[in-house]
Chain A
């Protein structure tokens, strides 16, 4: 069973479109995250949710709106996509313990 899953794995779209990336974890974790990995491979936290409540919003444009319908899901909706949004987006989850589990990533390409 996949611990943290993301769909889609690849997303190619035109500038100005709106798109969503879905994330689900079956680990029973309370906290979920979205990270962005840019073209230089740098990973940076975007959002952190704990028990469906937003904890961290790291100066991300408000075109990005995370939504957590329940503890197991954290979706990322992006409005009016821009070229600079092209990146790999990783969902992750954790509990208090040491490990943070990452999803397989979604490669977003904005044309």
Chain B
């Protein structure tokens, strides 16, 4: 079974619609992240959460919101989707642990197309 899962895997929607992308993990990690990937731009951080009560904006949070429903669940919402939010979205988790490593483990991704 996958440690980090994302639903849906693919979504096509129209401008102005509200969209929710969901992420679940069974790794027991406290830290969760949402990234978007665009060709030639690498991965950019949207939001991150270090525990259930901690939510932080990343470098490109405008137009997005998140909810950390439980340690294992972190959802990303697009309140009113626009075409330039068309991208590949990844959820990731990490466990700071005793090595103070921020190695992150990624879900399979959600390909979102906004028409």
A and B held together in a complex: no
